[in-house]
Structure 1
């Protein structure tokens, strides 16, 4: 499965969470519940600040 994992900072509570760049469902912050990732049918729309690419997959 191609796609990358990213470390994302929540814009509301600044919690850092690892998310999949091609998520097929909404991903909420584990602390405050703010939606961090929204699916788009391809690369997901990331709402928070991307801090780092944790794992690259080809």
Structure 2
């Protein structure tokens, strides 16, 4: 059961960060600390803008 990696853009500082699509914990921006993704069942709920799919499996 593989997942995808996504590049998200932070809404506050526009930093781009790679996040696993099935994140089990809250993922914060490495620069400003804004929440980018929250766990939501089997997949993560993204709060940042999805720029691209980095690696699809």
TM-score (ref. length: structure 2): 0.95
Structure 1 residue 49 displacement after superposition = 0.5
Q: 1:1-58 maps to which residues of 2 (within 5 A)?
A: 1-57=1-57
Pick the structure with more strand per residue.
2
Deviation at 1:10, TM superposition (A): 0.1
Task: Report the secondary structure of 2:32's partner residue.
Answer: coil
Q: Deviations over 1:31-56 (max 9, x none)?
A: 00001000012111000100000001
Alignment RMSD, CA only?
Answer: 0.7
**Number of residues of Structure 1 aligned to a counterpart in Structure 2:** 57
Q: Which runs of 5+ in 1 are unaligned?
A: none
TM-score (norm. length: structure 1): 0.94
- For structure 2, list consecutive stretches of 5 or more residues without a partner in the other structure: none
